[in-house]
Every structure is written in C-alpha cells, then in structure tokens.
Amino acid sequence: MNLRRDVFQAISDPTRRAILLLVATQSMGAGAIASNFDTARPTVSKHLQILTECELLKPEQNGREIYYHLNPKKMKEIADFIEPFRKMWDDRFNKLETIMKNYKPKK
Amino acid sequence: MKTKIKAEEGKQELTITREFDLPVELLFKAYEEPGIIEQVMTNPYATAKLLKFEGKKHGSYQIQSKDAKGNIVFSANGTFHEFTPGKKITRTFEMENAPLGVQLEIYEFEKLTDGTSKLSTHIIYESVEVRDKVLKTPFAQGLSMAHDRMQEIMNKLK
C-alpha cells in the first residue's frame, strides 16, 4: 500500500470525483460502480484502489463482492484543507504576540 | 479564530488578517528587529538566522534555517520596496530551492486601540497553481506526518 498517495491527486481526476459522487448517495459494489462508466473495468478498479489508499473510500467485503462506502471524515478533511495553512500562520502569530508581550526595549 | 485566511477560488492571491493584543508600534518592531525576526522564525526543529537584513526601500534580506546537525532546511530572500515604520511593508519573497517562484507581499499595520492592532498580509503569487500549491503544503505535510507516524507504529508491530 502506498501511504504517501496525495489526496488532492486523488480528487483531481474527473472519474474519481464521479465515483465519489456515486458512492456518496449509497455504498456500492465494484461492479455496479464500473457499470456507470464507459471505461474498462480494470481502470475503474485502479481508481477505486487509489481512492481506498487515500482513505476516501472504505471497502467492505460483502459475500463475493467488495462494497465501497464514502469516508465522511476524510471528505471533511478535504473541505477543511485550508485549516492547516491557517493554523500554521496562527501558531506563528501567537508566538510573535508572546515574544512581543515580553519585549523589553533596549536602552 | 484570531487569524483569518481569504483565498478565493481561481485567484493567484490570498489575504491573511490577524488582530494582535499589542500596540501597533510593538507589532511593527517584530518585523523590524533582526533578533526578533529570527526568534519568530525559529522552531523546535530549526534555528533561523538572518544573513542579511536592510529594513528600508531598496534594501534586501536573506534568511536561513538550520537543523541541530547544521543542515540547511530553509532559506529565502527578497527585496523591500516600501518600509514605512508602523504602517506598511512591501517586499518580495522567494523560497530558495522550491518551485514556487517569487511572491509579492504587502503588509499593512493598523492601530485599533492603544493596546491592540491589526496586520493584513496580502500575498500575490506567480499563478493560481502556485498559490494552490502553497495553500495545500501544510495540509499535505500534516497528512504525510500522520502517515509517517502510522508507519512507525506499524513497523513496531512487525
């Protein structure tokens, strides 16, 4: 499993976005998902694998078939993707504020 | 949430605003005194040092951070186009060895009350793609750090 797969790379592909939209309404089997696309089944499988690797989809064995569920927690992370950037600045500014509160001007 | 980010979709700029519990003069000092700039930029993993700092029009700056082993982990430079104490700084910023180009930064310092102030930082990037890359970097780092930790735990279980 490639743990370093970029989640943005995952959602940059239109087919993968379409898969996420499909699965958002109800969990589906790999076959049912593939039947929605003109692309070859192995290509869809590869997309499902990528989406699973970055945890946007959760696979679940159901009899012979694997069912895919949307992982809402991970989806929320994407919605909040700007938050780590904001936090980085907030931390830096908090530090600046603390330093300046203790600042003693040089005589 | 004291720090606010405004980044509209499809634009190559962003604005960072923050209100401080500091008089505006003291806030500006944090951008004016090399010792304080170094202190703010230093973190538990790397110590920042200003190799050059000329806080004036046509002046330039160069900053470098090294880890405990002395490896350079971050270096950046730029030029000041405006340096008006207590009011405004306009400068360029370029992170060395990073494919992010040169960005234009406009810092506006504003007095709110005697003891509080506001800083608005307007950053303009070379393209929409670069801006989006910059925005995503801490997110991606956070993810990869989480993954690294997970990998460490998995390795221990082996």
Does A2 fall in a domain? no
**Dist CA A88 CA A107 (whole Å):** 34
| Residues of chain B contacting residue A100, judged by C-beta atoms under 8 Å apart | 20, 22, 26-27, 29-30, 36
Answer whether residue A89 is part of any domain. Answer: yes
Model confidence band, residue B157 (pLDDT cutoffs 50, 70, 90): low
B42 CB within 8 Å of a chain A CB: no
In this structure, is residue A14 part of a structural domain? Answer: yes
CATH of domain B12-126: 3.30.530.20
CATH number at residue A27: 1.10.10.10
- In the block, residue with structure tokens 């919605």: A79
Higher pLDDT: B120 or B151? It is B120
Share of chain B above pLDDT 70, in %: 87
* Predicted local confidence at residue B89, as pLDDT: 98
pLDDT digits 0-9 by tens, A31-76: 999 999 988 889 999 999 999 998 899 999 988 889 999 888 887 7
Q: For residue A93, tell me if it sits in a domain.
A: yes
Kindly state whether residue A15 falls inside one of the protein's structural domains: yes
What one-character-per-residue DSSP string does A9-69 give? HHHTSHHHHHHHHHHHHS-EEHHHHHTT-SS-HHHHHHHHHHHHHTTSEEEEEETTEEEEE
Instruction: Check: CB of residue B126 under 8 Å from CB of residue B135.
Output: no
| Cα distance between residue A24 and residue A56, in whole Å | 11
- Model pTM score: 0.68
Parse chain B into domains and list their residue ranges: 12-126, 128-158
Instruction: Give the structural domain span for A96.
Output: 7-101
The residue among B17, B6, B12, B11 whose CA lies nearest residue B112 is B17
Using CA coordinates, name the residue in chain A closest to B132.
Answer: A82
Q: Is B32 helix (H, G, I), strand (E, B) or coil?
A: coil
Cβ-based neighbours of B37, under 8 Å, separated by 6 or more: B30, B31, B48, B50, B53, B63
**Which residues of A fall below an 8 Å CB-CB distance to B?**
3-4, 6-8, 81-90, 92-97, 99-101, 103
Tokens of A88: 């980085």
This model of the complex carries an ipTM of: 0.85
Residue A107 lies in a domain: no
For chain A, what is the domain count? 1
Is A63 within a domain?
A: yes
Residues of A in contact with B142 (CB under 8 A): 84
